[in-house]
Amino acid sequence: MNADVLSNCLEQAIPIVREAGKLLHDRVRSSSIQEKGKTDFVTAVDTAVQYFIRERLQKLDSSIQFMGEEQDNSSVEPDRLTWILDPVDGTTNLIHGFRHSAISLALAEGEQVLFGVVYDPFSEELFTAQLGHGAFCNHKPIHVSDVQTLSDSLCSVGTNPGSRDQADAAFRRMRAIYDCCHDIRRIGAASIELCYVACGRLDGYLEHGLRPWDFAAGKLILEEAGGAMTNFHGTAPFLYGDRSDIMASNGHIHADLRFLI
């Protein structure tokens, strides 16, 4: 896809995401909850946002395939142009009225994310990036922090409530990082945590067992802001794999974070 077509696509997708953001304020739909697992939920907002965005994107270009959290993605083909959507990242936050949830939308070709949008309608922050063109928050350029050492850092560690079998290891990692940094944070929406590393509010973030829609858009936004994202082994996470253990940082503290865990 050439850069002009891509920019055009991004410009058309952003208003769709913004408009869908209004649905996240619907407290009636967000209290209509179903359990996908014991601590993994879907609300009527998640399904309404996915339906709205999917319909609108297909009207833009029906040849681009669609991967979304609230559907069966078994027929998605890895090497095609693909929208990757998390209609509500931070569903548990939404259910509890803890005002940190986002819509996360990426366009990818194979394993390469071409652009990413993360919109948090509660803070009214729109994070965007196009491959090779930098990262932005509400249209202003963003950059990762300049913090050089773990001992000067603020890090977020995700607890992935859907993978509680790995809680012991997750809390061991959290403790190890906590012992070496200023403090730990946890927002409860992977896409927002990645964007906060991208704009320098956090210096590092890690979480086990994330799905592609949790991190696809945030990955590009972070990388375009000068940061780094790998899995726990230091290699690139797969967009078409099942789950990935994600480590994100401003780049400077990446090796130390890896060494620690």
**Three-state secondary structure call for residue 97:** coil
Q: 141: which 2 tokens? A: 């350029």
C-alpha atoms less than 13 angstroms from C-alpha of 48 in its C-beta half-sphere: 17
193 is a contact residue toward Ca ion (CB under 5 A): no
Shortest Å distance, C-beta 214 to ligand IPD: 5
The yes or no reply on residue 105 touching ligand IPD (CB under 6 A) is no
Q: Are 158 and 197 in contact (CB under 8 A)?
A: no
212 binds ligand IPD (CB under 6 A): no
From 210, 216, 239, 257, residue interacting with ligand IPD (rule: CB under 6 A): 210
Give Cα separations from 72 to 75, 106, 205, 215, 216 (angstroms): 8, 18, 28, 18, 18
Q: Using CA atoms, how far apart are residues 121 and 100, in angstroms rounded to an integer? A: 8
Residues within window 39-78 making contact with Ca ion, judged by CB under 5 A: 69
Other C-beta atoms closer than 10 Å to the C-beta of 43 total: 22
Shortest distance, position 115 Cβ to ligand IPD, whole Å: 20
CB atoms within 10 A of CB 213: 25
Answer yes or no: are the C-beta atoms of 144 and 154 closer than 8 Å.
no
What is the residue type of 137? C
Q: How far is the CB of 193 from ligand IPD (least distance, A)?
A: 7
CB of 42 to ligand IPD, least distance (A): 8
State which of residues 86, 120, 223, 224 lies at the interface with Ca ion (CB under 5 A). Answer: 86
Among 89, 203, 224, 256, binds ligand IPD (CB under 6 A): 89
Chain residues in the site for ligand IPD (CB under 6 A) = 69, 86, 88-92, 158-160, 162, 188-190, 207, 210, 214
List contacts with Ca ion (CB under 5 A).
69, 86, 88
